[in-house]
Chain A
Amino acid sequence: MDQEHIIAELLAFIEADPPSDPAAADAAFEALALKVFAYQFQHNAPFAKFARARGKTPRTVKRWADIPAVPINAFKSLDLTCRPPEDCVATFMTSGTTLGGVRGKSYHATLSVYDASMRRNFAQRFMGGQERMPLGVLFPTPALLPNSSLAHYLDLARQHFGSPGSRHLIGPDGIDIDGLCQDLERAEASSAPYGLIGASFSLVHALDALATRGRRFRLPEGSRILDTGGFKGQSRELEPDAFYDALAMTFGVPRRRCINMYGMTELSTQFYDDGNAACPSVKSGPHWIRARVVDPLTGQSVPDGATGVLAHTDLAHFNIVATILTEDAGIAVDGGFLLLGRAAGAAAAGCSMAVDAFLKAASAA
């Protein structure tokens, strides 16, 4: 299959409502997943080598769950792309804040599928039935961070779902607290719902800055907040309950309308919860992505209710690889999964040093 056809099929699949019969929905997902796998196997040479080494070929992969999961570490060293990198319109990279400093890369031959995936999902999971609302973006623009998938995502949200006046509130010099206060005041006065979206750590910075000024807001009914990405050592670390309490208190947005998005540079589709009235919240994705909880070594699903690491099969990530193995611990629950933080990074049980400890010590020495 060529790129044009796989894109057309994916766009149609994303736009169409999935069959209401679960078995039919499974079959539809499986059929397209196998096509995406075959496409990637044919065009993405490093991935084909990876798959072949596991005895996984279009001939032997018969179920979507058989598609080999590529560990996110592999995105650092391999150019996993069906089109040559130079032909790609965007290269999203991980932040490189992980130890070692090497950044994982996802090459996008087109952003049409990524954008379609983001738009339909965001409309369903964040917008609460509204077409547009004023959005304040607590993250730099794509112009400032051209390799950030999150910058692209948030800017896409602003363009497609933001009413006039929506804008970025972080510039080259950091958060524009005055601008944020103005926008929040205006929203308070307008009685129309307002959306504040951005990185979790940027929201912490905003919380701290507003606390310093002694400012609190009471955003209109229907307002909502989206945070994503965790704190990554860029802000102080808060327990989820403390974080969402602080958001609710400072912005007057109830925790059930504080939505956490779970996304990755190594995906083209995001997961959301339905608010954080209680933590940890259940995350779920749309019909073109599926999450499994697996044993990180065998790749086999763990028994129901057991903790494992998350593996995601995202059909929208068609130019790269469909299935990735994350380093995030999770547990499957009704309607989705709970995200339990990073699984990797265990300390040595004895007096040796495992990878994380070594890199930390080596960079300190």
Chain B
Amino acid sequence: MTEHPILAARLPGMNADALGHVTQTYGPADAPVSIALPKLDAAAIAAVAASVKTATRRTLKTYPVARIVDTLDAAIARLLDRAHPIRRQMDRLLPRLTGYDADMVGLGLTRYLMTFRKPELLRFLAEDFPNPAILDGFQPLPKGGYGRAYGADLTAHIWAGNVPGLPLWSLAAGLLAKSGAVGKVPTAEPLFAGLFVDALAEVDPALAECIAVVWWQGGEEAPERALLEAAELALAYGGNAALAAIRARTPITTRFLAYGHKVSFAMIGREALDAAKTAETARAAAYDVMRYDQQGCFAPHVIFVEAGGRSSPERFAGHLAQELQAFERTYPRRALSLGEAADVAAWRAAAETSPGGAVIGDPAGLWTVAFDDGTDGQFSPSSLNRAIRVVAVQRLEDVAARVAPYRRLLQTAGLACAPDRLFALSAELGLAGVRRVAALGDMTAPEAGWHHDGRFNILDLVEITEIDGRALPTADRLAAYVD
């Protein structure tokens, strides 16, 4: 069954047919998906950028932020409707593109999209602006004078990775900042961004012209340079090496924000391990491990489990194993490349043979639980793909010091403990570099308006134009009505 290639790019003001395409094939041999990725050279990128800028000045810049919220809300409503053609395309294609289980993608997408509805978008705005009207007009500033927030005419988004939906974070934030966007999709998942733009176009075609979705072969420098020069602000996602290369190509006059890859971990207090709660605790932990096969930065690499509960850390590891086994049936892991499989094998071997270590799980199976009785006790990275290490600790209070060496790489800590410990532990974790503390089971689904890697989603995208506090009194003297 072959289908016509699906076009990944959205190029307002440009005839995409005139461009050459690279056709990339994804998915299983019995159900391949062909995606046409237009080849854009530097000149084409510059043209697209110019077109987006024009559209942005014509429409987006003139919209009150409330209208942008309503438009986004209406677009998201379409995507939340499983019967809507665009959502159906997402449900049908994204699993085949990325290899993730279809049910997992479908449920994950819904849960994710729900964090971009109107109430959540308002929360986004409220998180960053005490008075969101500052995006629409000059508002009094606490220090005196007046300020108005302006997003860039053009923001470059350089996305990475295959976790479906990632571009929505920065696209939504950029639109709320009234900034046009040219987004470069990764080869691993080039589809979502374009489909989102399609949904937006159904609601407000003029607004959709303020977003272009482009692609070039990874490592091609000329189109990237062209985009980075056209944009005032660049948001880049990826590994450190890739980010360093992008930053090196970014002109000094383009502000550069990097979202590097991160790691997360979980902590389970003895109070979550009595005979009644152990299995539920394990299920929540397994859920976080299962989601997107740990490929997301919210996914745990290690679960620190406190000794002294009714279930020992080792017994907890057994429960976790069976919960992962259950997920293996309901949400199977995606097929691994040889390299990924070799990494899992190497990780298993290291875990199994380290002093005090053991592994649970058939090597031919789709998950691995490693157990460390505390002999090593340290944080260490997972091979990913449902490989999780349970580390026994005497006290959860000891964990922060063990993750602190990696403070620049830390993101989420999933926590199962009583409320009196939640704040004390969070204080220590924050000091160690953790930027999000979530309930076990919620690790991979950040709530609306969360501070991505500890930063401000919209505030980081704007600049303030301020009217000096003395300007108005001075202007007053020039008023015609002054006596």
Task: Report which A residues bind B (CB closer than 8 A).
Answer: 46, 50, 53, 70-74, 76-78, 295-299, 307-309, 325, 327, 329, 343-362, 364-365
CB proximity of B40 to chain A, nearest CB, Å: 24
Task: Report which B residues bind A (CB closer than 8 A).
Answer: 98, 160-163, 166, 188, 237, 239-240, 259-264, 292-297, 299, 301, 337-350, 352-355, 363-364, 381-384, 405-409
Supplied contacts A325-B349, A362-B409, 12 more A-B pairs, CB within 8 Å = A71-B348, A298-B364, A299-B363, A343-B338, A346-B340, A348-B161, A349-B98, A349-B161, A351-B166, A351-B259, A351-B297, A357-B239
A residues near B382, Cβ cutoff 8 Å: 354-355
Q: Are A361 and B346 in contact (CB under 8 A)?
A: no
Task: Kindly state the separation between the CA atoms of A327 and B350 in the bound complex, as whole angstroms.
Answer: 13
Greatest chain B CB density within 10 A among A295, A354, A355 is at A354
A residues near B240, Cβ cutoff 8 Å: 357, 360-361, 364
A residues near B188, Cβ cutoff 8 Å: 349
Q: Are A346 and B299 in contact (CB under 8 A)?
A: no
Select from chain B the residue with minimum beta-carbon distance to A73: B349
For the complex of A and B, 9 pairs with smallest distance between CB atoms: A350-B295, A71-B349, A346-B339, A358-B381, A296-B345, A350-B163, A343-B342, A73-B349, A344-B342
Enumerate 14 A-B pairs (CB-CB under 8 Å) in ascending A order. Answer: A50-B353, A71-B346, A77-B350, A77-B353, A297-B341, A325-B345, A348-B384, A349-B188, A350-B162, A352-B299, A355-B383, A361-B409, A365-B407, A365-B408
Select from chain B the residue with minimum beta-carbon distance to A306: B338
CB proximity of B105 to chain A, nearest CB, Å: 13
A residues near B259, Cβ cutoff 8 Å: 351
Task: Kindly state the separation between the CA atoms of A289 and B120 in the bound complex, as whole angstroms.
Answer: 64
Q: Are A351 and B160 in contact (CB under 8 A)?
A: yes
CB proximity of B162 to chain A, nearest CB, Å: 5
Task: Kindly state the separation between the CA atoms of A247 and B429 in the bound complex, as whole angstroms.
Answer: 55
* Contact of A297 with B163 at beta-carbon distance under 8 Å, contacts A76-B350, A343-B342, A353-B239 already known: no
Q: Are A78 and B353 in contact (CB under 8 A)?
A: yes
Q: Are B338 and A351 in contact (CB under 8 A)?
A: no
Q: Are A358 and B409 in contact (CB under 8 A)?
A: yes
A residues near B354, Cβ cutoff 8 Å: 77
B residues near A70, Cβ cutoff 8 Å: 349
CB proximity of A68 to chain B, nearest CB, Å: 10
Q: Are A327 and B384 in contact (CB under 8 A)?
A: no
Q: Are A354 and B162 in contact (CB under 8 A)?
A: no
CB proximity of B116 to chain A, nearest CB, Å: 18
Task: Kindly state the separation between the CA atoms of A299 and B384 in the bound complex, as whole angstroms.
Answer: 20
Task: Kindly state the separation between the CA atoms of A355 and B162 in the bound complex, as whole angstroms.
Answer: 18
Q: Are B353 and A361 in contact (CB under 8 A)?
A: no
Task: Kindly state the separation between the CA atoms of A295 and B239 in the bound complex, as whole angstroms.
Answer: 28
Task: Kindly state the separation between the CA atoms of A308 and B341 in the bound complex, as whole angstroms.
Answer: 10
Task: Kindly state the separation between the CA atoms of A149 and B293 in the bound complex, as whole angstroms.
Answer: 39
A residues near B381, Cβ cutoff 8 Å: 353-355, 358-359
CB proximity of A365 to chain B, nearest CB, Å: 4
Select from chain B the residue with minimum beta-carbon distance to A309: B342
Q: Are B296 and A352 in contact (CB under 8 A)?
A: yes
Task: Kindly state the separation between the CA atoms of A348 and B162 in the bound complex, as whole angstroms.
Answer: 9
Q: Are B161 and A307 in contact (CB under 8 A)?
A: no
Task: Kindly state the separation between the CA atoms of A53 and B339 in the bound complex, as whole angstroms.
Answer: 25
Select from chain A the residue with minimum beta-carbon distance to B166: A351
Task: Kindly state the separation between the CA atoms of A299 and B345 in the bound complex, as whole angstroms.
Answer: 10
Select from chain A the residue with minimum beta-carbon distance to B365: A297
Task: Kindly state the separation between the CA atoms of A118 and B163 in the bound complex, as whole angstroms.
Answer: 49
B residues near A46, Cβ cutoff 8 Å: 353
Residue in B297, B339, B363, B364 whose beta carbon sits within 8 Å of that of A344 in the complex: B339
Q: Are B343 and A344 in contact (CB under 8 A)?
A: yes
Select from chain A the residue with minimum beta-carbon distance to B295: A350
Q: Are A361 and B337 in contact (CB under 8 A)?
A: no
Q: Are B349 and A74 in contact (CB under 8 A)?
A: yes
Q: Are B349 and A350 in contact (CB under 8 A)?
A: no
CB proximity of A45 to chain B, nearest CB, Å: 13
Residue in B98, B294, B341, B350 whose beta carbon sits within 8 Å of that of A73 in the complex: B350
Greatest chain A CB density within 10 A among B161, B296, B342 is at B342
CB proximity of B38 to chain A, nearest CB, Å: 23
CB proximity of A96 to chain B, nearest CB, Å: 15
Task: Kindly state the separation between the CA atoms of A349 and B349 in the bound complex, as whole angstroms.
Answer: 22
Q: Are B353 and A351 in contact (CB under 8 A)?
A: no
A residues near B163, Cβ cutoff 8 Å: 349-351
B residues near A355, Cβ cutoff 8 Å: 343, 346-347, 381-383
Q: Are A362 and B98 in contact (CB under 8 A)?
A: no
B residues near A347, Cβ cutoff 8 Å: 239
B residues near A357, Cβ cutoff 8 Å: 239-240, 261
Task: Kindly state the separation between the CA atoms of A353 and B298 in the bound complex, as whole angstroms.
Answer: 11
Greatest chain B CB density within 10 A among A295, A309, A358 is at A358
Q: Are A297 and B161 in contact (CB under 8 A)?
A: no
Residue in B338, B352, B355 whose beta carbon sits within 8 Å of that of A74 in the complex: B352
Q: Are B346 and A344 in contact (CB under 8 A)?
A: yes
Task: Kindly state the separation between the CA atoms of A73 and B345 in the bound complex, as whole angstroms.
Answer: 9
* Contact of A354 with B343 at beta-carbon distance under 8 Å, contacts A74-B349, A347-B239 already known: yes
Q: Are B352 and A50 in contact (CB under 8 A)?
A: yes
B residues near A327, Cβ cutoff 8 Å: 342, 346
Select from chain B the residue with minimum beta-carbon distance to A70: B349
Select from chain B the residue with minimum beta-carbon distance to A295: B341
Q: Are B162 and A349 in contact (CB under 8 A)?
A: yes
Q: Are B345 and A71 in contact (CB under 8 A)?
A: yes
CB proximity of B410 to chain A, nearest CB, Å: 10
A residues near B409, Cβ cutoff 8 Å: 353, 358, 361-362, 365
A residues near B345, Cβ cutoff 8 Å: 71, 296-297, 309, 325, 344
B residues near A299, Cβ cutoff 8 Å: 363
Select from chain A the residue with minimum beta-carbon distance to B300: A352
B residues near A345, Cβ cutoff 8 Å: 339, 343
Task: Kindly state the separation between the CA atoms of A364 and B240 in the bound complex, as whole angstroms.
Answer: 10
Task: Kindly state the separation between the CA atoms of A50 and B348 in the bound complex, as whole angstroms.
Answer: 12
Q: Are A307 and B338 in contact (CB under 8 A)?
A: yes
Task: Kindly state the separation between the CA atoms of A178 and B65 in the bound complex, as whole angstroms.
Answer: 75
